[in-house]
Structure 1
Amino acid sequence: MDLTALAFFVPACFALNMAPGPNNLLSLGNATRYGFSRAVAAGVGRLLAFMLMIMLTSAGLAAVLHTSAWLFNAIKIGGALYLFWLAWQLWRAPAGSNEPVSEPAAGLAGLARQEFLVAAGNPKAILIFTAFLPQFIDPAQPVSAQFAVLGALFLVLEVVAIAAYAWMGVHLRRWFSAPRGRRIFNRASAGLLAGAGVGLLLSRRGA
């Protein structure tokens, strides 16, 4: 693979990984409530969803999403409803005491499943892989191998993004340790998740 293409791919890809979105917001919130290590470990669910999306995109299923309005809208609506449900749960979450939370209400498997469902419920992610990754593919070289390398790099950078947002969440926990501050943070996060759900509902296949 052309090293020049990789030199352009890595910073552009990392910008996508670091962009604020529902999954990064989950890492932020999970770290605020449950700690850095659990938030990072829960990100495995997101990585699994993205890995499946990369495989599906490589297999050409993304073309189906481009052409099938029914399938795209079904995934989109399901993902938006799940984001609204998460926002409602976060809005109603008790602020708690000043003591740091040591154990999550949901187990690690539940947090990872939450990350997976949020990522999998966004069909735009597959379309991003379709529109973004191919720009760095050299058609004169084996495409599958190049796609595997770019997909692996994307996942590695996603791990960095998960850790970065979890680190920010740990510091937010210190800043919002009082019940009032935690309530403000929970409701602000709920509003952002709900906004992401609205944005998902308004999204179009060709966007």
Structure 2
Amino acid sequence: MPMTLTALALFIPACFALNAAPGPNNLLAFANASRLGFWPAVAGGMGRLPAFAAMIALVALGLGAVLAASEMAFRLVAWFGAAYLIWVGWKLWRAPAPQTTQAQDNRLTLLAKRDFLIALGNPKAIAIFTAFFPQFVDFDAPVAGQFVTLGLLFLGLELLAVALSAGAGRLLSRALTPIRLHRLNRGVGGFLIFSGLAMALNPKH
């Protein structure tokens, strides 16, 4: 049974608010675009889509609720995500000025892998999907197709959020001198380190 237009009309704006929030992935896309350009940042940002697709599948299978209810499992995933955020933040903080950045740091596969691991290492996404998606599902009808619809919409809106973040980064890059780009990298790196520490100290929030 397809979802109603009313449910979709409520889901899309609420979902996009989550997609466009200035979290670690979107800030990374912004920083990448300011340093490398729009398309490399978008290509790198697409690395998060498989991670989110896997999380949506877990929620659809009911495993997301199990993870959200298991404090130990949640903490293990949160600590992994926190450690990776801190490591990426430290790399950005210590990175040289843009004109001296080594070429291998700009490979699209590395950018996508970094975005993928940041998304995958944040169990809050599963908690959000577990709490958010069921509000728009009619459990009196077959739910598989509804989760597929919601999941595809979420991933499409996530890609739009990547493009908007990258576009903003590219637009503002014209006003960013190399030293300002260096400071931007440090700012994003500092935010990632702070996010990782906050996740590690209080992963349930």
Q: 1:94 to 1:102 in 2, by over 3 A?
A: closer
Contact 1:34 1:104 in 2 (8 A): no
1:156 corresponds in structure 2 to 156
1:199 corresponds in structure 2 to 198
Q: 1:59 to 1:155 in 2, by over 3 A?
A: same
- CA-CA distance at 1:149 after TM superposition: 0.4
- CA-CA distance at 1:44 after TM superposition: 2.0
TM-score (norm 2): 0.92
1:31-65 alpha-carbon deviations (Å, 9 max, x no partner): 11111111111122100100111111111111221
Matched, 1:128 2:128: yes
1:119-140 alpha-carbon deviations (Å, 9 max, x no partner): 0000110110000010011122
1:45 corresponds in structure 2 to 47
- Equivalences for residues 13-92 of structure 1 within 5 A: 13-92=15-94
Q: 1:16 to 1:47 in 2, by over 3 A?
A: same
**Residue identity matched to 1:18:** A
% same residue: 51
Q: Report the Cα distance in structure 2 between the residues aligned to 1:4 and 1:103, rounded to whole angstroms.
A: 49
2:165 corresponds in structure 1 to 165
Q: Which runs of 5+ in 2 are unaligned?
A: none
1:176-197 alpha-carbon deviations (Å, 9 max, x no partner): 1x23212221111111111221
Of 179-188 and 194-203, deviating more is: 194-203
**Residue identity matched to 2:120:** A
Q: Report the Cα distance in structure 2 between the residues aligned to 1:70 and 1:47, rounded to whole angstroms.
A: 26
Equivalent pairs counted in the alignment come to 203
Contact 1:75 1:122 in 2 (8 A): yes
Contact 1:30 1:39 in 2 (8 A): yes
Q: Report the Cα distance in structure 1 between the residues aligned to 2:131 and 2:160, rounded to whole angstroms.
A: 22
**Residue identity matched to 1:140:** D
Q: SS of the residue aligned with 2:46? A: helix
Q: Report the Cα distance in structure 2 between the residues aligned to 1:147 and 1:154, rounded to whole angstroms.
A: 10
| Stretches (4+) displaced over 4 A | 101-104
- CA-CA distance at 1:204 after TM superposition: 4.4
Q: Report the Cα distance in structure 1 between the residues aligned to 2:201 and 2:141, rounded to whole angstroms.
A: 38
Contact 1:34 1:103 in 2 (8 A): no
Structure 2 counterpart of 1:11, from 6, 10, 13: 13
Query: RMSD of the TM alignment (CA)?
Result: 1.8
2:113 corresponds in structure 1 to 113
Q: 1:110 to 1:35 in 2, by over 3 A?
A: same
Q: Report the Cα distance in structure 2 between the residues aligned to 1:121 and 1:85, rounded to whole angstroms.
A: 12
- CA-CA distance at 1:103 after TM superposition: 5.5
Q: Which runs of 5+ in 1 are unaligned?
A: none
Q: SS of the residue aligned with 1:140? A: coil
Q: Report the Cα distance in structure 1 between the residues aligned to 2:106 and 2:117, rounded to whole angstroms.
A: 15
**Residue identity matched to 2:59:** T
Q: Report the Cα distance in structure 2 between the residues aligned to 1:203 and 1:141, rounded to whole angstroms.
A: 38
2:184 corresponds in structure 1 to 185
Contact 1:76 1:201 in 2 (8 A): yes
